[in-house]
Amino acid sequence: MKVDASGRLLDIRDLTLSFPLQSESLTILDHVSLWMGENEIVGLVGESGSGKTLTALSTMRFLPPAARVEAGQILFEGVDLLGLDEKAMHEVRGRRVAMVFQSSRSALNPLMRVGDQVARVYQLQCAMAPEPAYRAAVDMLRRVGIPDAERRARAFPHQISGGMAQRVLVAMMIACRPALLIADEPTTGLDVTIQAQIFELLKDIQAETRASVLLITHDLGVVAETCRRMVVMYAGQVMETGESISIFARPRHPYTRHLLSSVLRVDRAVEAPRANGQPSEALIYSARGCRFIQRCPCALEVCRREALPRIEAGPGHLVMCHREGEGHAAAAQR
């Protein structure tokens, strides 16, 4: 595993991504920046439509043809993935970076037995012959907790449960021991018991392989329990990033507080989080400054006009908020 001089395995810097919209282009990701060190789990959170999956797909270079990278870098092991040609990127995918997608059913080939699908990864990415690749596939299915792996390897995806299908997908992704595993809502559609098992599996795999994991999830409880650091996104912008324990204890951005207040608590009555309505996507993505402004209870006029600042609220704790910057400026004057 390689890291750059700053100790970062993955370093996304000011990634700006747009899509054409009739006579103009719509900026979907707006100067997104996040980083990961080696051997750590980082949570990427935010409500649906905040750009989490698109950020992950950009890292894998799985973007739709219409998408256009306007600016930024995606540095992995010190190399800008955006500058690689498709052949070089093919060497990175699977071997160095792998992704577990939201829907295991749609990610698996319905016409191939699951053992053959895992074996194909060993053949294509690890240059193994068919027979040893199949034996390695069965062993990997056993390692990810699938009982009677020899028999299950001969099953088609529709013949196994959703939880098993997700384990098969995880087996495919970790077959070549990548340095970075991106897990995009890996428990979508599974019941809570199976969800817990999949998250435990990811933690065990990370501990065993020492790979870094970017965990995209809506489950803040999982982030609190699993992730050392977290990144909060809204409408294609990063709002806050830092140590999970610090953000949960003292969230600084209004959107982070809004997000945490939406979590139901059994130990107290919780009011519904107050917001000024949810604007249309066109209004969100055309905003010049902070895209949370129409829902923010403490917005300033500068929030509408200027790009988000990056204010250090503590060691490694960044808040992209003009209000936070105003508070720091006032403190400096005292």
Using one digit for the tens of pLDDT, what is the confidence trace for 202-244? 888 888 888 999 999 988 888 998 899 999 999 999 999 999 9
pLDDT at 331: 41
- Say whether both 85 and 22 belong to one domain: yes
pLDDT confidence of residue 276: 45
> Above pLDDT 90, what percent of the chain?
51
Q: How many Å apart are CA 200 and CA 205, to the nearest integer?
A: 9
Q: Which residue has the tokens 């074996």?
A: 119
Count of structural domains within the chain: 2
Question: Does the residue 42 lie in any domain?
Answer: yes
Residue 64 sits in the same domain as residue 213? yes
Is 80 exceeded by the pLDDT of residue 327? Answer: no
Would you state the pLDDT for residue 55?
Answer: 96
Structure confidence at residue 333 (pLDDT): 40
Domain shared by 51 and 173, yes or no: no
Number of alpha carbons in the 13 Å side-chain half-sphere of residue 333: 6
Shared-domain flag, residues 73 and 195? yes
- The residue with tokens 């071997």 is 95
In a domain, 156, yes or no: yes
Per-residue model confidence (pLDDT) at position 115: 96
pLDDT of residue 159: 93
Weakest mean pLDDT among 3-12, 89-98, 130-139, 147-156: 3-12
Residue 75's domain comprises 8-96+178-333
Query: Of 177, 201, 233, which marks where a domain is finished?
Result: 177
Strand partners, 218: none
Mean pLDDT of 292-297: 86
What is the structure's pLDDT at 209? 86
- Boundary-marking domain end, from 127, 142, 177: 177
In this structure, the answer to whether residues 75 and 138 fall within a common structural domain is no
Residue 2 belongs to a domain: no
Boundary residue ending a domain (118, 148, 177): 177
pLDDT at site 271: 53
Q: What is the pTM of this model?
A: 0.87
Which residue pairs from 120-126 have beta carbons closer than 8 angstroms and sit at least 24 positions apart in sequence? 121/94, 121/172, 121/175, 121/176, 122/175, 122/176, 124/94, 125/94, 125/95, 125/175, 125/176, 126/95, 126/175, 126/176
pLDDT digits (tens, 9 = 90+) for 239-278: 999 999 999 999 999 999 999 987 755 555 555 445 444 5
Give a yes or no: residue 75 inside a domain. Answer: yes
- Do 173 and 207 share a structural domain? no
Mean pLDDT is highest, among 167-171, 197-201, 230-234, 299-303, for: 230-234
Tokens representing 316 are 């490694």
Whether 135 and 223 map to the same domain: the answer is no
- Same domain for 202 and 79: yes
Residues 313 and 225 in one domain: yes
Please report the pLDDT score of residue 285 as a whole number: 60
CATH number of the domain bearing residue 200: 3.40.50.300
Say yes or no: 82 and 217 in one domain: yes
Report pLDDT for 204.
87
Amino acid 201: pLDDT: 87
Q: How large a percentage of the chain has pLDDT more than 70?
A: 88
283 lies in some domain: yes
pLDDT digits (tens, 9 = 90+) for 115-127: 999 999 999 888 8
Q: Is 125 in the same domain as 270?
A: no
In the structure encoding, which two tokens stand for residue 250, read together? 């003292």
Residue 215 sits in the same domain as residue 159 = no
- Does residue 3 form part of some domain? no
Q: How far apart are CA 257 and CA 67, in angstroms?
A: 32
